[in-house]
Chain A
Amino acid sequence: MALTGLEIYKLLPQTNCKDCNYPTCLAFAMKLAAKQADLADCPHVSEEAKTKLAEASAPPIRLLELKGSEGEFQVGNETVLFRHEKTFFNRCGVFLRLQDSLSADELKEKVAEADAYHVDYVGIDLYLDGFAIEAASGDPKTFGAAVAAVAEKTKRPLILLAATPDLAKAGIEALDETRPLLYAADADNWEAMAQVAKEAGLPLTVRAETLDELADLTGKIKEAGVEDLALDPSLSGYLDSLHKLTSLRRLALKENFRPLGYPVITFPGSTESVDAAILAAEQIAKYGGLIVLDEFDPSTLYALLVLRENIYTNPQKPIQVQPGLYEINDPDENSPLMVTTNFSITYFSVANEVEGTGRPAWLLVADAEGMSVLTAWAAGKFDAERIAKDVKTFNVADKVPHHKIIIPGHVAVISGELEEELPDWEIMVGPREAVDIASYLKSMWTT
């Protein structure tokens, strides 16, 4: 939590010399607290005060940056407990875990498949953030070879699950020009692991059974010179995860408790008797930072990535597309014309469906301020007047001389008014759900 003006004032020289161009030190302190002034403007502030102020203004959850040979990934810097208070900023990572007990060929095959995974959700490209390679063999050579094999097939960031200095070093040596996350330092090995992390300039995960132990360890490791950390609080299921991750988030945001102000790494597949998909989903909503899955299963991954998009969207601003007349499958003057709203979810449900029919069509995307069909209708942003206006704005009549327009079935009630607004047009009521557009066009549009 940032310092108040008064707290900052106590750290200033309190001489009111005005060199900062403010009448008093207090006035300057107030501006600093409001982030409207720069500490550098006071030439007299002591080094000690500078460090204190810098520390206090650091984000409560430290940003963690990983780099692959091309991809980058950032997590941390969150500022709220509930997304409605502002927004969740840096999407938690979704990684896939692989063991070095697999042969190089097996690893390459798995990585290539998962690395190629892309899915489109309302125009947003979703994919895995990276891979975690586990030194299950316990042998540095095997591990190094496995890391090299993985790095050959993916440019995304990596996590090295290698809990001895030798293993970690072997992993690091197999990589160049990247910034993987090391995992993990615990009460037994922390000095050696911190040494490795420090030498390589890499971030390090700290693992302990309790938050007390975790806080002890991060303190020591920070003193040893490693500042970029992730936490593994050894979670054991849905409830333990909810309790510990909530506590960690609250400690960071409400108490500004530095020793635990780092992103959290979780392994939802590690607890027996737990449904990994459900636990991963919980951790997406409730404060996970890097989520490492054990299985590459598109039917789960797709759901989780969509959930993450939903939880991390800005609650103040719906995701939307540009209003306008869209062409699908290269339409001509005989192609059907449909109208929908510019809420991304709505637009893509319809556009994907129409595209899937393979038939050419026009799609008029009305300016409904980013709302769904019924929401916009209820809010008066998708009524006959609006649609008629957009028909004119986007010169629709010129492109579709047949003057027939298909409206969503959910707003069938506006067809009468729309007839009045567009007197020489034929208003057709489409199906309610986009899935039924194909069969509707088949039976109703016979040109």
Chain B
Amino acid sequence: MAVEIPKEKWTAQVRKVTIGATSEEGGTRAKTLTVGGESALPFLHYEGSFPNKPALAVEIRDRKPDDWSPLLLDALGETAEDPAKWAQAAEAMGADLIYLVLSAATADGNPNTPENVRAVVRKVLDATGLPIAVVGPGQAEIDNELIVPAAEEADGERVLLGVCEEKNYRTIVAAALAHNHLVQSKTPMDVNLSKQLVILINDMGLPLERIMMDPTTGALGYGIEYGYSVMERLRLAALTGDKMTQQPMIVDPGAEAWKVKESKVGEGVPEAWGDWNRRALNWETLTATTLIHSGANIVILRHPENVARVRKVIDDLSSATT
């Protein structure tokens, strides 16, 4: 019996977004990263085209974080002491994008400064040829204060700046406009909020080709199902022609998964949780791969081993031989 495989006819596709600029394009990056462009649900090659694979961003910090899981700090070793070394290590791990997160305070407890930010951004740009993202610590005023100098320092590099949220996007978008960068538009797990913020940012004059959409996610066991479903809904809307949902999606399984007890704590937890290191690695990996299946175009990761682990999956899913 010849079984006819049902195929969906989609009418639209995800927008392409390119992060980073080579010297021909006014930057200094050795390569750029393009994501998006697919015209079907994730990896269903038989009903659409997938010009770009999902990409892996690796998070680095401007200084050694004091609240990360000891497992992560052990795995990173001394690279975590220096953002330049960390960026190089991330490149060696196989990152497509360096995701630099600025701290609110310096190691001695003083507020982070614009000078500091410029120096770090410069260091990272010099240390790697990969495209980069620079985001603030996630507190509106501090973000604005730190992202503007970062945008200036990286003028023309088409950096992904963030994080734009509903209450706090104008300054960051203005900086992106002034210095030829892109932005990460983040909203709390809601299809309409995602669209609205993209519209607001676009209304300021930033082309849609320079907006990555972050629908927010939760870790495995801590709300991943909400993020998963919102992403599926956004992607279905995009493929059926809803223009403002067609931005490629970036999500942060690394930060979410490494925040939870399962990956942070090794002692005094139920025996049924199993080996701490393997559990923690699984937590980040499975959060990431599950989100890749719901349409993520960039996932941000933290652990070196997981970068390799998730890469293999993406490569297999992206090989259109079957």
- Judge: A and B partners, yes or no: yes
- What residues on A are CB-neighbors of B272 within 8 Å? 117-120, 298, 302
In the complex, how many residue pairs between chain A and chain B have their CB atoms under 8 Å apart?
A: 151
Q: Which segment of B98-106, B116-124, B259-267 sits at the interface?
A: B259-267
Q: Which residues of A contact B72 (CB under 8 A)?
A: none
Q: Which of B6, B232, B282, B286 contacts A247 (CB 8 A)?
A: B6
B275 nearest CB across to chain A (Å): 5
Chain A contact residues, majority secondary structure: helix
**Which one of B1, B236, B319 lies within 8 Å of A239 (CB-CB)?**
B319
Chain A, 217-242, contact with B by CB distance < 8 Å: what is the 0/1 string? 00100000000000000000111101
In the complex, the answer to whether B233 meets A251 with C-beta atoms within 8 Å is no
Q: How far is the CA of A415 from the CA of B312 in the complex (A)?
A: 48
Within 8 A of B (CB), among A59-105: 82-84
Interface segment among A169-177, A308-316, A362-370: the answer is A308-316
Residues of B within 8 A of A257 (CB): 3
Task: Please determine whether B290 and A281 come into contact, CB atoms closer than 8 angstroms.
Answer: yes
CB distance B3 to A212 under 8 Å? yes
- The distance in angstroms between the C-alpha atoms of A211 and B313, with both chains bound, is 24
Q: Is the CB of A239 within 8 A of B275?
A: no
- Given A255-B6, A259-B1, A315-B225: A302 in contact with B279 (beta carbons within 8 A): yes
Given known pairs A237-B316, A278-B285, the reply for A298 and B5 (CB within 8 Å) is: no
List residues of chain B with CB within 8 A of the CB of A13.
none
CA distance A433 to B259 in the complex (A): 9
Known: A238-B313, A434-B261. A306 touches B220 (CB 8 A): yes
B9 located at the interface, meaning its Cβ lies under 8 Å from any Cβ of chain A in the complex: no
Contact across chains for B265 and A435 when beta carbons are under 8 A apart:
yes
The smallest beta-carbon distance between B126 and chain A, in angstroms, is 35
Among residues of B, the one whose C-beta sits closest to the C-beta of A83 is B229
A85 to B230: give the CA distance in the assembly, Å: 11
The answer to whether B268 touches A356 (Cβ under 8 A) is yes
Q: Say whether, besides A118-B272, A251-B6, A310 and B282 are in contact (CB < 8 Å).
A: no
CB contacts (< 8 Å) of A281 on chain B: these are 286, 289-290
Interface residue? B309 (CB, 8 A): yes
A239 close to B289 (CB less than 8 A):
no
B44 touches A243 (CB 8 A): yes
A303 within 8 A of B: yes
Q: Contacts of B233 on A, CB cut-off 8 Å?
A: 82, 84
**Residue of B whose beta carbon sits closest to that of A298:** B274
Asked if A310 and B221 make an inter-chain contact with CB atoms under 8 angstroms apart, the answer reads yes
By Cβ-Cβ distance, the 4 closest A-B pairs, closest first, are A299-B274, A298-B274, A119-B272, A299-B279
A residues apposed to B, CB below 8 Å: 82-84, 117-121, 211-212, 214-216, 219, 237-240, 242-243, 246-247, 250-251, 254-255, 257, 259-260, 274-275, 277-278, 281-282, 285-286, 297-304, 306-307, 309-311, 313, 315, 345, 349, 353, 356, 372, 375, 378, 433-435
Q: Give 15 CB contacts A-B under 8 Å.
A: A83-B228, A83-B229, A211-B3, A238-B316, A238-B317, A239-B43, A239-B316, A240-B322, A242-B317, A278-B289, A281-B286, A298-B275, A300-B274, A302-B273, A315-B229
